[in-house]
Amino acid sequence: MRVRSVALLVIILLLSGCAAVEPAATTTVTITGGLTTDPVDGGRPVVLVAAALGVPTEVFREAFSGVTPAGAGNDVSDERALANKAALLRVLAPYGISNGQLDAASNFYRYNGSAGESWPHEPATATVSNGVVTITNAGYGYSSAPTVTLSTGQTATATLAFGTDTATNGSIASITLD
């Protein structure tokens, strides 16, 4: 009896013009890169450190220009560390940046590139439905706009947001289909 009822329902639906609904095609969004630094910054994520401190990137670049960093894998002498800190704070203190704030931002983004490391970051994710991009996780730690590609071959442009909260600094603020 049950089989006959299901068969009858199918026939009625077909005769009434109802058709089975095809599932929507899934468009995959791939977000890659976004960890490029400006060549003038020597591999340092200056845009992220500056934003974490709440100062313009150019101000932090100016402050860092007075620093003599140690080579990769080398320790800085105490004397050089104090001189470097004084050079940084000479420029940053007028912006209200304390030694503690400088240490917190610098330590958060510290990494050893020669060991294959990168600064802390979380990849962003997004979905596309009916031509609308929805950012499902804005990520953080992007120092440059990542490449956004859809499984359809279409590309998109990401816009970044920077701020003092390291959990959202360098996150994707928007993605626009090209």
Q: What is the pLDDT of residues 36-56, one digit of tens each?
A: 999 999 999 999 999 999 999
Mean pLDDT, the chain, whole residue set? 87
- Long-range Cβ contacts of 45-50 (<8 Å, 24+ apart): 45/109, 45/119, 45/141, 45/143, 45/170, 47/143, 47/162, 47/170, 48/109, 48/119, 48/141, 48/143, 48/162, 48/169, 48/170, 49/105, 49/106, 49/109
CA pair distance 58, 50, nearest whole angstrom: 8
Is the pLDDT higher at 75 or at 11? 75
- Each residue's pLDDT tens digit, 82-129: 999 999 999 999 999 999 999 999 999 999 888 899 999 999 999 998
- With tokens 């609308």, the residue in question is 132
Is the pLDDT higher at 21 or at 81? 81
Percent over 90 (pLDDT), the chain: 72
Q: 35-39, 56-60, 74-78 — which is least confidently predicted?
A: 74-78
Is the pLDDT higher at 59 or at 12? 59
Summarize the confidence of residues 165-173 as an average pLDDT: 98
CA pair distance 97, 101, nearest whole angstrom: 6
Contact 116, 2 (CB under 8 A): no
Residue 9 has pLDDT above 60, yes or no: no
Q: What is the pTM of this model?
A: 0.82
Distance of CA 32 to CAs 29, 49, 123, 155, 158, Å? 10, 21, 8, 12, 11
Is the pLDDT higher at 75 or at 121? 121
